[in-house]
Amino acid sequence: MTRPFNFSAGPANLPEEVLQQAAAEMLDWHGSGMSVMEMSHRGKEFISIYEHAEADFRELMAIPKHFKILFMQGGGLAENAIVPLNISRGGLADFVVTGSWSDKSQKEARKYCDVQIAATNESSAHTSLPPPATWQLRRGASYVHVCTNETIHGVEFQELPDLKALGCDAPLVIDFSSHVASRPVDWSKVGLAFGGAQKNLGPAGVTLVVVREDLLGHALPICPSAFNYKTVADSDSMYNTPPTYAIYIAGLTFQWLKRQREGEATGIAAMEKHNLAKAKLLYEAIDHSGLYVNNVSKDCRSRMNVPFLLRDASRNEDFLAGAKARGLLQLKGHKSVGGMRASIYNAMPLAGVEALVSYLQEFEQKYA
Ligand X SMILES: *Cc1c(COP(=O)(O)O)cnc(C)c1O
Q: Catalytic pick from 56, 175, 230, 332? A: 175
Minimal distance in Å, beta carbon 151 to ligand X? 3
Quick one: 154 or 339, whose CB is closer to ligand X? 154
256 neighbors 270 (Cβ within 8 angstroms): no
Inter-residue contact 315 to 133 (CB < 8 Å): no
Taking CA atoms, 343 is separated from 7, 59, 116, 206, in Å, by 5, 26, 31, 20
- Residue number with CB closer to ligand X (76 or 352): 76
**Residue window 329-368: x/- pattern of binding to ligand X, with contact defined by CB under 6 A:** ----------------------------------------
Q: Assess 101 for contact with ligand X (CB under 6 A).
A: yes
Element (H, E) at 364: helix 350-367
In the bound state with ligand X, the residue whose beta carbon lies nearer, of 201 and 310, is 201
Query: Would the CA dihedral through 301, 304, 310, 313 be positive or negative?
Result: negative
Backbone angles phi, psi at 145, to 5 degrees: -105, 135
Round to whole Å and give the CA distance between 137 and 129.
16
Site residues for ligand X, 212-241, by CB under 6 A, read: none
Length of the chain: 368
Residue 68 vs 153, nearer CB to ligand X = 153
Give the span between the Cα atoms of 153 and 147, in whole angstroms: 11
* CA atoms within 13 A of residue 211's CA, in its CB half-sphere: 28
Q: Which of 29, 39, 72, 76 touches ligand X (CB under 6 A)?
A: 76
Strand, coil or helix: 322: helix
Catalytic residue among 199, 230, 278, 332: 199
Q: Does residue number 12 form part of the binding site for ligand X (CB under 6 A)?
A: no
Position among 8, 88, 177, 343 found at the interface with ligand X (CB under 6 A): 177
Q: Closest-CB residue for ligand X? A: 75
Q: Least distance to ligand X from the beta carbon of 177, Å?
A: 4
CA distance 62 to 42: 27
Nearest to 96 by CA among 87, 86, 84, 106: 106
Does 108 bind ligand X (CB under 6 A)? Our answer is no
Contact by Cβ (8 Å): 170, 143: yes
Torsion sign, CA atoms 94, 97, 101, 104: positive
DSSP-derived pairing of the beta strands 149-150 and 114-120: unpaired
Interface region with ligand X, contact rule CB under 6 A, candidates 72-80, 263-271, 292-300, 325-333: 72-80
State the nearest-atom distance from the C-beta of 133 to ligand X, in Å. Answer: 24
Q: Is 75 in the site for ligand X (CB under 6 A)?
A: yes
Residue in 184, 146, 183, 149 with CA at minimum distance from that of residue 166: 146
Between 32 and 73, CB nearer to ligand X: 73
- The residue range among 46-54, 55-63, 70-78, 331-339 that interacts with ligand X, by the rule CB under 6 A, is 70-78
State yes or no: is 175 an active-site residue.
Answer: yes
Interaction of residue 151 with ligand X, rule CB under 6 A = yes
* CA angle in degrees (0–180, nearest 5) for 80-86-91: 90
243 or 291: CB nearest ligand X = 243
175 near ligand X (CB under 6 A): yes
Residue in 7, 8, 10, 56 binding ligand X, rule: CB under 6 A: 10
The active-site residue, picked from 56, 68, 101, 256, is 101
Q: How far is the CB of 149 from ligand X (least distance, A)?
A: 6
Select 122 or 169, whichever has its Cβ closest to ligand X. Answer: 122
Torsion angle in degrees (nearest 10) through CA of 247, 248, 250, 252? 160
Catalytic residues: 101, 175, 199
Binding site residues, ligand X, CB under 6 A: 10, 75-77, 101, 147, 151, 175, 177-178, 196, 199
